[in-house]
Amino acid sequence: MTPPDKIIIWGAGGHAAVVADLIRRSTRFQLVGFVDDVNPTRKGENWCGAEILGGRMQLAELQHFGVKHLVVAIGDNAARMKSAAAAKELGFTLVTVMSPSADVAAGTEIGAGSVIVSGAVVNPGVRLGENVIINTSASVDHHCVISDGAHICPGVRLAGGVAVGAGVWVGIGAIVIDGIRIGAGAKIGAGAVVVRDIPENALAYGVPARIVRKLDGK
């Protein structure tokens, strides 16, 4: 019997705890531990059944000991994409992690490093970019396109043909009607109902969702 591949999780917060649980339910990987840049004092702490190994400076040593697989489990989109780029540059293989209770249509395109959590539904014709999060009980209907680094939060409902740009945050419980385009870097507030296209780097919330302001001074 082939032994499981060793894997590390970059991140040690709530989302990392969820990802660690998903990995343990798989026979493909053995979780070696967590890398945490946020709180270096946690090095050596036993957390969620594995050790916090330290910050990113530990990555080269981990490679030396045969760890080649990594998943970035950081909820913040910008931080997740930055860490994923650093991991790829170091030669790690980004792994896609999927809950056994997620209902994902056959043939779905899923980019490296993406995470699909328990209760999520991904219907036919969907394309997911790299390092996307489809969180707890979110549903993504047919022919949606979710670009790199987007986070579809718990309970979100995307109707058919929605296009979500890179780094978009769709807040918990939001609803997006069919055919909507959400520009890169936009953020949709919790519980919003999106019935019109949202431009890049815009903050929108409410029922119906209205653009409140531009983000990052853009």
Quote the domain boundaries for residue 189: 98-214
Interval 26-60: pLDDT, tens? 888 999 999 998 888 899 999 998 999 999 888 98
Q: How confident is the model at residue 14 (pLDDT cuts 50, 70, 90)?
A: very high
Q: Are residues 106 and 90 in the same domain?
A: no
Q: Are residues 16 and 65 in the same domain?
A: yes
CATH number at residue 46: 3.40.50.20
Q: Are residues 28 and 83 in the same domain?
A: yes
Mean pLDDT of 157-185: 98
Q: In the block, which residue shows the tokens 């990555």? A: 59
Interval 129-163: pLDDT, tens? 999 999 999 999 999 999 999 999 999 999 999 99
CATH number at residue 189: 2.160.10.10
Q: Does the N-terminal peptide bond of residue 208 adopt cis geometry, omega within 30 degrees of 0? A: yes
pLDDT of residue 82: 96
Q: Are residues 69 and 86 in the same domain?
A: yes
Q: Are residues 139 and 104 in the same domain?
A: yes
Q: Are residues 110 and 197 in the same domain?
A: yes
Per DSSP, the three-state class of 58 is: helix
Q: Are residues 119 and 202 in the same domain?
A: yes
- When the pLDDT of each residue in the chain is averaged and rounded to a whole number, the result is 94
**Residue 94 β-bridge partners:** 70
Distance CA 58, CA 32 (A): 12
**Residue 218 above 50 pLDDT?**
no
pTM of the predicted model, to two decimals? 0.95
For the stretch 34-41, contacts whose Cβ atoms lie closer than 8 Å and that sit 24 or more positions apart, written own/partner, are: 34/8, 34/9, 34/10, 35/8, 35/9, 35/10, 35/11, 35/59, 36/11, 36/12, 37/83, 38/12, 38/13, 39/12
**Residue 192 above 90 pLDDT?**
yes
Q: Are residues 55 and 158 in the same domain?
A: no
Q: Which one is predicted more confidently, 64 or 182?
A: 182
